[in-house]
Chain A
């Protein structure tokens, strides 16, 4: 359709051409607006023999109760759209907010998706009945969450592309204990993040700019129970959390995970502003909740009130921003800038890592229920 209204010889013809063109433009706009987002989950492998060797007998009672609840699947009916799912004016959303919010949805979807792939792989490769059962429920929940976010993305005109399957994928390796630390923290921090936003929006519903936040409560209960399962796994063998080297690892994980969250959240000012959330407050609050929960299994706890804590986090944030600027600049100056920023980030990390930790005697009984 190359006709142009200016070429028309009569008014009627001109109108007809304009109408035709309008139809075409709408279709093109829809096609274009349906951005294609390629999901890029990572693929992992681990020491499956070590995983199979886990014996949950020391925590059998708690384990069975938790698994029975996961099997009963109390959240099955929760992830449905009902009348609470308000219509959203995506077109009218402020572009910066839209960009940050879409980033939030896409990254969340990818994270759930990667979890689903990892857990399913562990279930498939393992032979230990207890472990396989756990991973099958976790994989189920993650796929469900991913589907729910995917639907919100479709509404926003973003189609996820699953074409990654036919791309070459390299499998990286994690030792089982690293999977425990990382996924335990990730699930618990996910719970703390979601529940903090949920409670905040309960008090300030005027800031709820998308209905997905209404689903956060039950959603984070899934995260919470996944975390519980990893807490139990870590308690099957005291060495995993109590040996000298592993205490240092746990400290490392806490520092790395908390500071990464700080950096990423601070890079999304519009998203948090729209929610009416002060990022400094929110992140500290999430750290506090996570630290309190993690007393169930970690023998050390970061000192979030230490004067070096906030200073270190801010230094880290500045170093990462400098790194981004240097990357954008490119060339030799960019390279120098990156090295500089890298060393600043490393120094900030060392400063955070060396803050004396608080010792914690883990309780006799591991299990917790969501209480926030």
Chain B
């Protein structure tokens, strides 16, 4: 990991999408145990994983992980906290006027 350089790597992953009345969820699991650090980006390769209504879809895909540079990781660690407002469920989008 360089101070300024980003590396990319790929990892096999399992994508799970549940689109049912009882549950709406979507998760990506990296199957090789790769760990995501602050500032890293993950992109699942291939076409969008689409689960039609009332379906639970599990697909094996490849994920591209773009590792943040040391500086970016440090920056995300320092400033990420300030985005905490996103964790709050206010039931309205952030636009002050619609």
A residues engaging B (CB < 8 A)?
42-45, 79, 81, 99-100, 103-104, 106-109, 111-118, 120, 124-125, 139, 143-144, 146-151, 154, 160-175, 178-179, 181-183, 185-187, 189-190, 193, 253, 256-257, 260-261, 263-265, 267-268, 317, 320-321, 323-324
Contacts and interface: CB of A to CB of B under 8 A. Distances in A.
Given A146-B25, A151-B21, 9 more contacts: A113-B26, A143-B23, A150-B21, A154-B53, A173-B81, A174-B87, A189-B90, A190-B91, A264-B92
Contacts of B80: 44, 172-174
Contacts, number: 183
Nearest to A323: B96
Nearest to B94: A264
A39 to B, nearest CB: 8
A256 B98 contact: no
Contact of A170 (B40, B90, B93): B40
Contacts of A124: 29
B9 interface: no
If over half of B's interface residues share one DSSP class (helix, strand or loop), that class is named, otherwise mixed; here it is loop
A171 B36 contact: yes
Given A168-B43, A171-B37, A320 B96 contact: yes
16 contacts: A44-B87, A104-B91, A107-B91, A108-B89, A108-B91, A115-B87, A124-B29, A143-B18, A163-B48, A168-B42, A168-B43, A169-B41, A173-B77, A264-B93, A265-B92, A321-B97
Contact of A147 (B20, B41, B42): B20
